[in-house]
Structure 1
Amino acid sequence: MDRTTIIPLIPGQIDIVTSKGEFNFQEVLDDFANAESIFVTTYNISARRKELIRALEAATDHAEVRIITNIPNRFERYYGDSPRERASKSIERYTQRLDPSNIENLATSFNFSNHSKVIMTENIAYIGSANYSEESDHSRETGVLIRGKDLVRVISEYLLPILIDEGIPYFGGMLDDKKILLSFLLSRLEGAASVIRDGLFTSVGHPLEDQEVYNIHDPFLMKSELEGLVEVLDEIEDDLDNEFREVACLEHVADLVDIDSFNAIRALCDYDTPIHELAEFDSVEYASDILSEQMVHNEDMNDASQDAVDSAAEKHYDLAIAAEEPVNELYKYLEQVRNSFQVAVNEIKRLEGQQATIDNT
C-alpha cells in the first residue's frame, strides 16, 4: 500500500522520509502557512497541474518566495525543428508561470545544470529526490526532513548561496520598468539641481560665453529650492528601497547608487551651513532691519537707506564667498550621483542581456 514512512535519525530534528502516492515533502508544504521565507529548487515543475505553484503563489501574501528550476527540453544546441519547438514551448510555459512581475514577493531563477531538490521554509527543510511537481507523488521518493530554525539556518547560510549564485535571475518585463524608473529618478534630481544652478552660476567667456562659473557677485538661491532638492533626495531614496531593495535579486542595484553622496549633499544643505545661510538671506529684510534699528529721521533717510542697501549687499557678498566652495562641492557630489545612476542602469542592461539567454531557441 502506498504511504509515507518516516525513519527518525535524531528524533524531532532529522528524519529520513520515503513515500509513494504522497508528497515526500508534505510537512514542508504544511508549514507554508506559517512561513516568512520559502525556498524551492527543483529539476522541474508540473507541465499542466498547478496545485504546487498555487501553493507558492498563496504564500507570497506573507512570505518571500524564491524558486530555482531547470527547464526540461531546453538544451544548449538543437538538432532539428522538433526539439527546438519543444524547448520553446517549455521555456514559454515556465517563464509565464513563474513570472515575478505578475506575482509580488516571488523571485525566480533558472539553472540549466540543476538537478538538486530542496524545499524549505525557515522552520523545516526537505532535501531529497522529489521534484516540486505533482508527478513526484507517483514515484518512490526518499529524502531527509530537517526541523528547527537553528539547523535550517545552517542550510540557508551554506547551501542556498551556492544554488542561488548558479542561477540566472528571471524578472519578466520588470527590468524595462526599473530602467525607466532609474532614468525618471535621475531626471527629477537633475531638475531640482538645475533650478538651483540657474541662480548660482553664470556664463562667461568671449565671444561665446561658453563657460559656466559661480556667480560670486550676485548669486540667487531660495530656501524653498534648497528644501526641494533635499526632499527629492529623500523621495528617491525611498523609491530605491521600495522598488529595488525589496525585490529579490535586485537589491544590489540600489546599492550601486551613491547614497554617500546623497548624505554629503544633505549635510551641505543643512541648517546653519554656508549654503543654507545664503538661501535664507533676504537683502530687503536685512536692510529694513538696519533702518529700524537706527531710528533715522526723515531728513537723513536717503543716506541711511543707501547705507542699509550697501550693508545688505556686503553681507550678501560675504555669504556668497563663504558658500562658493560648498556650492562647488555640492555639484561635485551631484555629478557622482549622476555617474552612479548610469552604473545602475548598466547593471539593469546586463541583467536584461543575461535574462535573454534563458530562451535560446
Structure 2
Amino acid sequence: MRIHQTVLTDVLFAVVLSALAVDNASRSGAQGWLVYLVAVLATAPIAARRSIPVLATLIMGAALAGYGLLGYSNGEAPAGGFGILVGMFTVAMVRSPRAALLTFLPSVAGMAVFLGTAGVVSWSLLVLPTLVLLGTWGLGDATRRWALRTQLIAARAARAVADERVRIARELHDIVTHHMSVVSLQAGLAQYVLDTDPATAKVAIGAAGDAGRQALAEMRRLLDVLRVDDLHAESGYHPQPGLADLDRLVEHTRNAGLPVEVVVTGRARPLPPGPDLCAYRVAQESLTNILKHAGPATARITLDYGDQTFTLSVNDDGAPAPAKAPSPQSHGIRGMRERAELYGGVLIAGPRDPRGFGVTLRLPITEDG
C-alpha cells in the first residue's frame, strides 16, 4: 500500500510539472505538437524516478537541451528546470556516488546547451544553475547516507534484541535444568525409599520442594527484569544471582545428594556484574551436569582470584564412561563457552584422567575488581 501511494504521488507530481511545462511552451510563442512533447519530456519522467532514476534524469536533461536547440526557449526552462533537479536528487539518494557523477555531468551539459541556445554565452551565468544542481546532488547523497545509517542502527537494534533473547533463553535453560534435575533426583529417591526409609524420603521431598521454590524465585526475578512497568519499582527488583549466592547453590546441591567442596585461593573480591553472573551460571550448569551424568561422585569447586584473571574450576570424580559424561559440544557446555567469550574469557571442558569430568572458566579481571 505504501509503495502504491509513493508511485501515485510521483505521478501526480509529474502531471503538475508537465502542466507547468506546457504552459511555458505555450507562452514561448512556438507552435506544433513537438514543442509540447519536448516540454513534457523535460518533466514527465519524474513519474518513474524511483524505478529508473538515472534514465529518467538523462531523458529530462536531453529534453531540456532539445528544447533549446529546437528554438523554443525564450530563456525560461520548462517548469523552471525543476524536473532535472528532482531527478538529480533521486539519483544521489538511491544510487551510488559513481552513478550520480555519471548523471551529473550530462545534466550540466544539457543545461549548458539550453542556456547557450537561449543567448546565454557567459560561462559565469552557468555557475549558479550548476551550483544548484551540485547542491541537489549533495542533499540527495546526505539523505542516502542518513538512510543507510538509520538502517544500520535498526540492524544493530534487531541484533541486540536477538542477543537478548538468546541470553534470556540461556538463563531459563540454566534455571530450569539445574533445579528440575534436583527435583527429579530427589523425587526419584523419595519414591525409592518411601516404604523402607520414610525419614530419608521426607528429606528428599523437602529438598525437591526447596529446589522448586528456588526455581520459581529465579524465574520470577528474570521475568521481573523484562517487565517495563516495574523498571522504576525498586521494591519489585531483585538482582541476578552471583558468586555471593554460591554457598546456597552448593547447599542445595548437597541436599540433592552430591558432596561438594569449595576452595578459595587468592584475594577474594567482588567481580563485575556480568562476569559474576557468568561464573555463577557456569558453576550451576557444571553441578547440574554432575548430578545428571556422573553417578556416585563428589565435586570440588575452586575459586582462584588472581591479579588479572579469575579462574573457576568444577571437577568431579564420577563415572568415567563416555556414555554418561556430557559432551564438550553439548548445548549446556556450548552455552557456558559462549558466556565466557562474551566477557573475554575462555572455558575448557572435558573428561579427567583417570575418571570424572572437569570444567575450567577463566575470566579477565582488574586489580580493583
Using structure 1 for the length normalisation, give the TM-score.
Answer: 0.29
Larger Rg: 2
The structure where strand makes up a greater share of residues is 1
Greater RCO, CA 8 A, separation 6+: 1
Using structure 2 for the length normalisation, give the TM-score.
Answer: 0.29
The structure where helix makes up a greater share of residues is 2
